[in-house]
Structure formats: C-alpha cells, structure tokens
Amino acid sequence: MSGILIRGASLVGGDRADIRIADGSIVAVGSASAESGDHVIDADGLVALPGLVDLHTHLREPGGEASETVLTGTRAAAAGGFTAVFAMANTTPVADTAGVVEQVEALGRQHGYATVRPIGAVTVGLAGQQLAELGAMASSRAQVRVFSDDGHCVADPLMMRRALEYVAAFDGVVAQHAQEPRLTEGAQMNEGPLSGELGLTGWPAAAEESIIARDVLLAEHTHSRLHVCHVSTAGSVDVVRWAKARGIQVTAEVTPHHLLLTDETARDYDARFKVNPPLRRAEDVAALRAAVADGTIDIVATDHAPHPDESKECAWSEAAFGMVGLESALSVVQHALVDTGMLDWASVARVLSTTPAHIGRLAGYDRPLSVGAPAHLTLVDPAASRTWSPGELRGRSRNTPYTGLTLPGRVVATVHGGVPTVLDGALVDAETVAAAAGTGR
C-alpha cells in the first residue's frame, strides 16, 4: 500500500475534506486525488478525529497476561479509535525501573497497533515507602513523563511532596490516585443511603476530595505538575476548579463510566459495576459532565482495567475492582456529552486526543490532521448505534459494564502512524499491522 486517500470526511470544524496519507504523514488536506496503489476510504458521513490518546490504561503485561497483554490491549485500543495509550505501572514486576518501562515500550513498538508510553511508578513496588527510579525512567528509551502508583494512593504527604519536586526537574507529572486509605478501609461502594440499604461498606466522597485538596496545595508549593486520576465527585470538581482559578498546575480526568453510570447499579450486586473509585450519585454524574464541558476536567481517560472472568463472576465483596473501557469510550462520550449538546466534535478531539497527549508530553498530536503531521486519525460514524455486548470487545477480558445498553457511534477506521489498524470497522490482522509498521515479528 503506497498511501491512503480518505474521501469526503467531516473535519471537527465542520468542513468536508479529503485527507491523503503517505509515508506515515498527512500529505494533503482539502482536495486530493488517489495515486497508484492507494487504499481509498469513502468517508461520506464520517467524522475525522485526531487519533485518540488514553492517559490511563492497564495493559497488565508483564505478569498479568491472563487479563491482558500489550498486544491484546492495543488491539482493543485500536478498535476504540485510540492510537496511543499510557500504560499504568501496576504490573508484576511493577514498572518502577528503567528496565521494565523499556520492556513495555518495546512491546508496543513490536506490535504496532498503538504507541505505548509506559507510566512509571512513583514509589518502589507501589508501596509508598521509597521513591522509585524516577530519573532513570525519564532518561530511558521509554522517556517516561507520567508517574503514578494508580491502584494505590501516594498517601504520605512528604513522599508526595518529594515526588512532585523530583519530576519538576524534567517536566514530569505525578498522576495521583486520590483515595485516603484510612477512610476507605473495606469500602465496597459509594457511601450513602444505598450502601446502608445493601449492607456494603461505604466509600465517602471526602476520601477522594481530601487528598485532592492536599495535593493541589503541594503542587502549588513545589511549582510542579499534578494530574488527578478518575475524578468522581462533585466536591472533587469544586476543589480542582478552585485550584485552577488560583493558577496551580493541576489537570484532571474523568472516566466514561463515571459520566454515565451511578451507584444504583449496585442494587443487584452485579460485580461488573464494582470499580475504584466507585460509581457515585446522579448529582455527581451531572457535575462531572458539566466540568468536562466547562474545562475544569481536562480529559476523558478510560481506566481500562481488564480482569479474568473468575474475578468478576463471584460475590461482590470478593470481586476485583475495575472495568474495561477502550472499545466503548468514544461511544459513551458521544452519548453522555455530544448527543446531549454539551460538547461538539472539536471538543471531543480536545478531551480525547490533543490534551491527554499534551499532559503526557506525547509528540505528534500538537497540530492534528494538518499537512506534515504524523498520520494518527480515527474515522467515526456518529449516526450508527449498536446494542453493546462482550462480542464488541477485542481485548482479553470481558468485564464491560455496558452489556445490553444501546450506544451511539462506531469506529470505522483507525490509522496509527500511517498504518491502518482498523478498516471497515474490523481490526486489521496482527501480521499485516506489524509488517506495515516496519517492526517485524
């Protein structure tokens, strides 16, 4: 394949245009003609988005391959329109050394479905006792710029201060899992009348909000960048909004599931809906949607958390926390924010591509869909809809919370660095992607 010609796509500004791709870059936008050997995509009715970027993905490899691998996770990413993912550090061994992050980055390059940027652990073994090799990971081939103990809060304020001070030296960011551990011991779901009714230990909103409040003050004190993972409460939105008004370098993310689902899903003790942080009240969902619309929350990130069936098909109290979300993210954002009139497609590009890339200091997304830019793009059919089922998933795990829901939108094509990874709504086979990406396998 010498190139790709996309005919008549709707750009996020509303204009229709042809887009021609060759040698990994966009070479024409506007009116373009196919050249010999080009693969032609009829994009009538499709929206062209810059390739989506997920700042919060759990790929599980190394050590958790029963749940996901870099290959299966990036295939799921491509199916959802993502061309880059940031892989969380809670693997086995933990990604707390240059060697582990380089291994994860290399696996991403080998498979070719998406750019994989490892997230380095803040502390050794995620234990919160000793800073990990932050500088070594930053200067490694993986060029780590995002550090997180996600799954665990960096609860010690002195440890958090030191981490913020350290990463500031190389323009890194600490992505905090805001969960005060003493306030959430044994917690199973959002604390409220329903948790009492169901007999499940409650998870108070203050456990999240108090850590965010502490950390924005530490970020101000250290003149460093703080990113808040999976904001879930209206109170957290208020704290982030206050910090931004004060000029503190804080960014925040929300997950698709926190934009759509509420704690009412726990009534049937269906562990598909057990997640950390927990699903909250309808009032929190409304506040989170409004915060994305007004820019208080900067990005949407999936927190894609695959688990084997046995970790979810069990009693609620014994089940693992987490949901998969790469394949469904764009559809949920369309349903919750676009179809409700709260975001336009240009804003979708901002919260799902350009801003997460900027936070993670990922090159190639600062001038998307322009001549000379790397060819990372996603074509979506916003008029399509489908009833969600585990059959929509392309990763290794099946713990989706959306089974039975009708969701809008369909990813028709994904192009990563000029290489098609999805065409006509179907994944391109792994050997073809690896060969086209020049990685070999």
- Which residues are known binding-site members for Zn(2+)? 56, 58, 150, 177, 230, 303
Which residue, among 273, 130, 111, 80, has the nearest Cα to 189 in the 3D structure?
A: 273
In whole angstroms, give the CA distance from residue 390 to residue 434. 26
For residue 10, what is the enclosing H or E element? strand 4-10
Pairing relation of β-strands 173-176 and 225-228? parallel
The structure tokens listed for 179 are 């969960």
Residue 393 tokens, joined: 């998933």
Dihedrals phi, psi of 303, to nearest 5 degrees: 50, 40
Give the three-class secondary structure for 96. coil
Q: Are 114 and 54 in contact (CB under 8 A)?
A: no
Catalytic residue among 18, 303, 344, 424: 303
Tokens found for residue 259: 């934009």
Residue 292, both tokens: 């994305």
- Could you give the CA distance from residue 49 to residue 407 in angstroms, rounded to a whole number? 19
| Nearest C-alpha neighbor of 88 from the set 76, 73, 75, 78 | 73
CB 387 within 8 A of CB 365: no
Q: Could you tell me which residues are annotated as the binding site for substrate?
A: 58-60, 90, 276, 307, 321-322
Residue 11 is classified by DSSP as P
Annotated binding site: 56, 58-60, 90, 150, 177, 230, 276, 303, 307, 321-322
In 258-405, alpha helices (H): 282-294, 329-333, 345-349, 355-359
Please give the torsion angle defined by the CA atoms of residues 284, 288, 293 and 299, in that order, rounded to the nearest 10 degrees: 180
- Tell me the residue type at 54: D
Let me know if 303 is a catalytic residue: yes
Please report, as a single letter, which amino acid is at residue 284.
D
Catalytic residues: 303
